[in-house]
A and B are shown apart, each in its own frame.
Chain A
Amino acid sequence: MQEPVVTEARTTDRELLDFVMRTPRWFFGSTVVFGAILAAGFAVFILLLMFGLQYFGYSHPVYWSFPIVNLVFWIGISHAGIMVSAILRLSQAEWRRPVTRAAEVLTIFSLLTAMLMPIVHSGRPWRTLYWEFPYDWIRGAWPNPRSPLVWDPSAIFTYLLSTLMFVYIALLPDLALARDKASDPVRRVLFTILAMGFRGTSRQWRIQAIAGILLSAIILPIFVSVHSIVSWDFAVTSLPGWHNTVFAPYFVIGAVHSGVSAVVTVTIVLRKILKLENYIKADHIDSLARLLIAVAVTWGFFLFLDFGFGLYGEEPAEVATWMKRTFEMPWLVLAPIFIFTAFLFPVPMWLFRNVRRSFKWMFITTVSVNIGMWLERYLLIVPGLERKSDLQFVYGEFTPSWGEGIIVTASFALVMLGVLTFAKLLPIIPAADVKEGQILAEKFAVGKTDVPAAMRE
C-alpha cells in the first residue's frame, strides 16, 4: 500500500530544512495579512476591556456564544495532534510519519487559541487569574473545585504541557539536524541550545524512543478527558438540549472528526506552499481519509444518540428546543448545512478511492467538515440557551455582531500564523521520523507480486 519515500537521506535533510534556512517572499506578505487580522481582533478585545461586553451579540438568556463555540471548536481541532501522533505511534501505523509534526503543531496553536477564548468571553478578564490559580488563598479565595470551569483549564493546561513535551521530544533529532546544517550564527546558537546536546548515540535514540512511547500512552487519558470536560461545561446544567449523558464521548469523537480533517487540510496546504510533494504522498492522505470514515461514522452514531435521547423523554422543553433547532429560522437553514457539510457530503465522497487520493478533493471535503463542525457547536450551544422552558418570558434570540465575527476571524489568523511561524523556525516534517521510515521500509515477493512491507521489532 505505502509507496515508501525514496530519496537520499542527504536530499531529505536539505529539502525538509529548506524553508527553515531560506525565506521566500510570500512569507512576509502572509505574515502581514494574518498580523493585521490579529491586530483587529486585539483592538476588539481592548474595546471589550474598556466598555464591557456590549459589542458582542449576547442578550439576556443567551449568555454564551461565539467565543465559547470557538473554544470548543479549537479544542476539537487540538485533538488531531494526539489522535494522529500518539494513537498511530502506539499502533505502529507507518503512514503517520510525515504528518505527525504538522498535527502536533496544530494542536499546540489551536490549544493556545482556545485558551484565549474564555478570557475574551469573561466579563472581567483582568480578574481571571484566580479562576484557576489560588494565589490569594491566604484570604480564603480559592477556586471552586466543583465547577467544570475549573476542571476545564486544569485539563487544558495538562494537555498543553504534555503536548509540548511530546512535540519537543519528537523534535530533538531534528533540532540536532538543524544545528548541524545551520549556516548563520543566530540559528546555530539557538538550535544548539534547543537540541540539548543530542548527538545521535544509540543511548540517546533509545531514551528518545521510550520517552515518545511513554508520553503517547500517558497523553491518551488526558486527550479523552479534555474534551469530555469541555462537554460537561454544558451537560452538567439542566438546560434542554444540553443535559445529555452522551455528551462526553460525542464531543470527543466529534473533536477527532474535525481535528483529523484539519490535519488533512493543513498538510495539503503545507505540501503545496512548502513544496513537500516528495514527502507527503497520496498514500498518506488516503490512509487519513480511511481513518476519517471510521471516525465520522462513529460520530454519526453518537449524533443520533444525542438527538434520539434528547427527544426520548418527551419533555416539552427538550422537544421544543429540538424543534426550534431544526425547523425555525435561522436554524432551518443552518441545520441542513451542518449535517450536509459535516457528514452527508464528505463521508460518501471518501468512499471513493479517487477522492481519497486527490489532494484537491480532500482539501474541499475536509474544509467542509470543519465548516460543519463549527456550525455543530453553534447549533449545540446557542439554541439551548434560547430556552424553550416553561417560563416563556425568558425566550431569547441571538444575533451575532461584528465584534464576534472579528474575534472568530482573528482566532483563525492566530492559528495559521502560529503554524506558519513554527514551520519557519523548525522543520514541519519530522526528518528523523521520515528517514527511519525509509530504512524500515521493505519489499518482498509473494507469488508474482511485490508487497510493500515494514519492519517490526
Chain B
Amino acid sequence: MNSQHEMAARAAQKFGAATIPSDDPDLDQEGRRWGMVVDADLCTGCQACVVACQSENNLALNEEQRVLEGRAKAWIRIERYWEGEFPNAKARYLPVMCQHCGNAPCEPVCPVWATYRNPEGLNVQVYNRCIGTRFCANGCPYSVRYFNWWNPEWPDPMNDMLNPDVTVRTKGIIEKCTFCVQRIQRAKRDAVQQGVELADGDVSPACVQSCPTNALVFGDLNDENSKVSQLAESERSFTLLENFGTDPSVVYLSKVDPFAEPHEEEGH
C-alpha cells in the first residue's frame, strides 16, 4: 500500500467518511458474504424501501416524464404480480434489487473492469472506471443496473440535501444497488474505533431500516449464527431466476397463503 493510500484511509477513518474503499485487513474481511433475506410473506408492497433507497443513495426524482420514457431509476423496485383469476385475484409483491451474485453475469463482460466482486461478497461498481458500454446492464438477468442518461438534477432545496456519504453519479455511467456500502464501511469503522467485533444487525441498509414489517433482513450469510443465514435455511427459501445459475446473495422466502391452492410457486 502506498503512503497516499494510507493517508486517505486514515483520513477516512478520522472523519468517518466511508467513500474510500480500503485494503485495510481490519476492515475488509475475507470470508464475509453480505446478503439479504426478503420475506415475501411479510412484504406489503408499501414502497417504503424504494423511497428510503432513493434518498439515501442520491437518486434523482422519478418524474412522470422519466417514467414514461422508461428512464426512471430505482435501485430497489417492487415487482407486483397478480395471482388467480378476476374475482379471486391477489396481488403479490417481490422487492428486487441487485442480487450481488456469486456468479455474476455482469462482471466478466465489462471491458474495463468497472464492476467486480469484492472480498466481502459485494458486487461493486467503480464509477470512475465505467465508460458506459452498458454491456453489464444487458448481461444482468434481473435488470437492476441503471444508466445515467444525463447529469442528475434536483429542484431547490433538495440539491442541498444530498447524502454526503454517497457519490453523485455523473452522466454516462452505470449504477446499481450497493447494499448501502457506505453504511457497511461506517459500521466497520465504528466497530474498529470502539474496539469491538462487528455484531450481527449492526449494519442495515436504508431499505432494511425502513421496512415497516421487517420483511428485509441483512447480514453475513457466511456467519452461521446470523439471522440472515438462519432465515436462508428456511424451507421456504428460493432465489430469483435459479435457472441462470447466478448464485445470488439475496434469498427470498416464499409467500405462505393458507387459502391458496397448493400449486403456488413463486420461484418462477
Contact = CB atoms under 8 A, between A and B. Distances in A.
Interface string A92-133: 000000000000000000000000001001111101101110
Interface string B237-259: 00011011000000000000000
A124 B134 CA distance: 11
Given A52-B148, A60-B71, A238-B141, A146 B108 contact: yes
Contacts of A54: 71, 149-150
B138 A63 contact: yes
Given A238-B244, A392-B79, A64 B111 contact: no
Contact of A391 (B72, B109, B111, B143): B143
B70 interface: yes
A283 interface: no
Interface string A65-87: 00000000000000000000000
Q: With a 10 A CB-CB cut-off, give which of B79, B150, B172, B240 has the most chain A CB atoms.
A: B172
A397 B70 contact: yes
A100 to B, nearest CB: 34
A53 interface: yes
Contacts of A59: 69-71
A144 B143 contact: no
Contacts of B173: 123-124
B214 interface: no
A195 interface: no
A131 B131 contact: yes
Interface residues of A, number: 47
A339 B112 CA distance: 37
Interface of B is mostly: loop
Interface in A139-159: 141-144, 146-150
A128 B114 CA distance: 12
Given A127-B131, A131-B131, A236 B109 contact: yes
Interface in B116-160: 129-135, 137-139, 141-143, 146-151
B10 interface: no
B113 A144 contact: yes
Given A59-B71, A392-B79, A123 B112 contact: no
Interface in A142-192: 142-144, 146-150
B143 A58 contact: no
Interface in A382-402: 385, 387, 389-394, 396-397
Contacts of B70: 59-62, 396-397
Contact of B172 (A52, A61, A315, A387): A52
A53 B138 contact: no
Contacts of A144: 108, 110-113
A127 B132 CA distance: 9
B95 to A, nearest CB: 11
A239 to B, nearest CB: 7
Contacts of B109: 146-149, 236-237
A122 B172 CA distance: 7
B111 A131 contact: yes
B268 interface: yes
B67 to A, nearest CB: 10
Nearest to A124: B172
A194 to B, nearest CB: 36
A18 interface: no
B116 to A, nearest CB: 9
Contact of A60 (B72, B132, B135, B240): B72
Contacts of B90: none
Given A63-B137, A122-B132, A123-B134, A147 B108 contact: yes
15 contacts: A52-B150, A58-B147, A123-B133, A130-B112, A130-B131, A143-B113, A144-B112, A148-B135, A236-B139, A237-B109, A237-B138, A385-B138, A389-B143, A391-B268, A393-B96
Interface of A: 51-54, 58-64, 118, 121-125, 127-128, 130-132, 141-144, 146-150, 233, 236-239, 315, 385, 387, 389-394, 396-397
Given A123-B134, A127-B131, 14 more contacts: A52-B151, A53-B147, A53-B171, A58-B147, A58-B149, A63-B134, A63-B147, A122-B133, A131-B131, A142-B113, A143-B112, A144-B111, A237-B138, A389-B241
The 5 lowest CB-CB distance pairs between A and B, nearest first, are A123-B132, A59-B70, A123-B172, A52-B171, A394-B143
